[in-house]
Chains A and B, each alone.
Chain A
Amino acid sequence: MNDLYNNWIGHWVVVVVAMTLLLVVVLTATAYTVWFERVALGRIQRRPGPNRVGPFGLMQLAADGIKLALKESFIPAKTDKLIYVIAPAIGVAAAFLAWSVIPIGLWYNVQYWVADVNVGILVIFAVSSLNVYAIVLGGYASNNKYSLLGGLRSAAQLISYEMALGLALVPTFMIAGSLRLRDIVEYTVHWGPYTGPIPLILLTPVGFIIYVIAATAETNRTPFDLPEAEQELIGGFLTEYSGLKFTMYYLAEYLNVITVSALATLLFFGGWYLWVVPPVLAFFVKVVLVLFLYIWLRGTFPRLRYDTLMRLGWKVLLPLAIANVVVTAIILVAVGG
Chain B
Amino acid sequence: MSDEDKNPTPSPQPSPLEGRGGQPSVVSDVAALLTGLKTTLTETFRPVVTTMYPEEKTPRSERYRGRHYLRRYENGLERCIGCELCAAACPVGCILVIAAENTDENRVSPGERYAKTYEINMLRCIFCGYCEEACPVQAIVLGPEYELSDTSREKFIYTKEKLLEPLPPEVQARLGGASAGELSSTADTGGHAPPQTDAKEPK
A residues 76-111 in Cβ contact with B at 8 Å = none
B174-196 CB mask vs A (1 if < 8 Å, else 0) is 00000000000000000000000
B residues 42-68 in Cβ contact with A at 8 Å = 43-50, 52
Residues of B within 8 A of A188 (CB): none
- B37 near A296 with CB under 8 A, answer yes
Is A300 an interface residue when CB atoms closer than 8 A count as contact? yes
Look across to chain B and name the residue whose beta carbon is closest to the beta carbon of A223: B33
Q: Which of B41, B46, B50 contacts A48 (CB 8 A)?
A: B50
Contact status of A47 and B50, CB under 8 A, knowing A300-B36, A301-B33: yes
- Distance (Å) between the CB of A244 and the closest chain B CB? 31
Is B11 an interface residue when CB atoms closer than 8 A count as contact? no
Contact status of A46 and B49, CB under 8 A, knowing A40-B44, A296-B41: yes
- B48 near A47 with CB under 8 A, answer yes
Look across to chain A and name the residue whose beta carbon is closest to the beta carbon of B47: A46
Q: Which of A43, A51, A300 contacts B37 (CB 8 A)?
A: A300
Residues of A within 8 A of B36 (CB): 300-301
Is A118 an interface residue when CB atoms closer than 8 A count as contact? no
- Distance (Å) between the CB of A292 and the closest chain B CB? 9
Residues of A within 8 A of B15 (CB): none
Is B25 an interface residue when CB atoms closer than 8 A count as contact? no
Residues of A within 8 A of B41 (CB): 296
- Distance (Å) between the CB of B49 and the closest chain A CB? 5
A299 to B42, CA, bound (A): 12
- Interface residue tally of chain B, by bracket? 10 to 19
A278-305 CB mask vs B (1 if < 8 Å, else 0) is 0000000000000000001101110000
Residues of A within 8 A of B103 (CB): none
Count chain A residues whose beta carbon lies closer than 8 angstroms to a beta carbon of B: 14
A223 to B86, CA, bound (A): 57
- B48 near A44 with CB under 8 A, answer no
- Distance (Å) between the CB of B58 and the closest chain A CB? 16
- A48 near B40 with CB under 8 A, answer no
- Distance (Å) between the CB of A188 and the closest chain B CB? 33
Residues of A within 8 A of B48 (CB): 42-43, 46-48
A115 to B46, CA, bound (A): 44
Look across to chain B and name the residue whose beta carbon is closest to the beta carbon of A46: B49
B112-123 CB mask vs A (1 if < 8 Å, else 0) is 000000000000
- A45 near B43 with CB under 8 A, answer yes
- Distance (Å) between the CB of B111 and the closest chain A CB? 51
A184 to B50, CA, bound (A): 45
- A300 near B40 with CB under 8 A, answer yes
Instruction: Give the interface of A toward B (CB within 8 A).
Output: 40, 42-48, 51, 296-297, 299-301
Instruction: Give the interface of B toward A (CB within 8 A).
Output: 33, 36-37, 39-41, 43-50, 52
A40-B44, A43-B43 known; 10 new pairs, CB 8 Å cut-off, are A43-B44, A43-B48, A44-B44, A46-B46, A46-B48, A47-B49, A47-B50, A296-B40, A296-B41, A301-B36
Contact sample, A vs B, 15 pairs, CB 8 Å cutoff? A40-B44, A43-B48, A44-B43, A44-B44, A46-B47, A46-B49, A47-B48, A48-B50, A48-B52, A296-B40, A297-B37, A299-B40, A300-B36, A300-B40, A301-B36
**7 residue pairs, one from A and one from B, having the closest CB atoms:** A300-B40, A43-B44, A300-B36, A44-B40, A46-B49, A48-B48, A44-B44
